[in-house]
């Protein structure tokens, strides 16, 4: 049975699996689009992990860290960027958006979800890291 944990609201069971498969689908789709777009793989490699720099906000505190991390790992900004890239026929904008969405997709596929202010290890896809074992 699918449940939501009372502690964090994290998805479990089939819903968690579906969310992770959606992430894998997003990653695969964005990489395929990037390849068909004939984007630079050097640019892809250089930009792929840039959204993870947002975890540095956790140095301030967990609440601010979660806010910044979630802003960098939600679909809203890269989809808006993708739309602008298509609207203005901007190859660089499209490339950045595709890479950003690919990053979010692989994160979700690996179980790194949006963060709760309880700490970096508490996500909408369940606990990760040391919190997972607790």
Average pLDDT in the 81-96 region?
96
The pair of three-digit structure tokens given for residue 21, joined into one six-digit string: 């498969």
Q: How high is the pLDDT of residue 2? A: 46
Calpha distance 46→92 (Å, rounded):
14
pLDDT: which is higher, 67 or 129: 67
- Give tens-digit pLDDT for 52-81: 999 999 999 999 999 999 999 999 999 999
Q: How high is the pLDDT of residue 1? A: 42
- Give tens-digit pLDDT for 11-67: 888 999 999 999 999 999 999 999 998 899 999 999 999 999 999 999 999 999 999
Average pLDDT in the 95-114 region?
96
Does pLDDT of 93 surpass 60? yes
Q: Output the pTM of the full model.
A: 0.89
In order, the DSSP letters of 14-71 are: HHHHHHHHHHHHHHHHHHHHHHHHT--HHHHHHHTTGGGGGGGGGGT-HHHHHHHHHH
pLDDT: which is higher, 114 or 7: 114
Q: How high is the pLDDT of residue 128? A: 84
Placement of tokens 């699918």 in the chain: 2
Q: pLDDT-derived band of residue 126, with 50, 70 and 90 as boundaries?
A: confident
């Amino acid at each position: 049975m699918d449940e939501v944990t009372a502690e964090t609201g994290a998805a479990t069971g089939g819903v968690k699996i579906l969310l992770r498969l959606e992430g894998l689908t997003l990653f695969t789709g964005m990489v395929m689009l990037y390849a068909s777009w004939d984007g630079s793989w050097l640019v892809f490699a250089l930009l792929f992990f840039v959204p993870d720099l947002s975890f540095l906000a956790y140095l301030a505190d967990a609440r601010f860290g979660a806010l910044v991390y979630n802003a960098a790992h939600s679909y809203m900004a890269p989809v808006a960027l993708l739309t602008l890239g298509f609207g203005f026929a901007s190859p660089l904008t499209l490339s950045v958006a595709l890479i950003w969405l690919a990053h979010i997709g692989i994160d979700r596929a690996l179980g790194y979800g949006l963060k709760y202010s309880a700490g970096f290890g508490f996500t909408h896809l369940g606990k990760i890291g040391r919190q997972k074992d607790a």
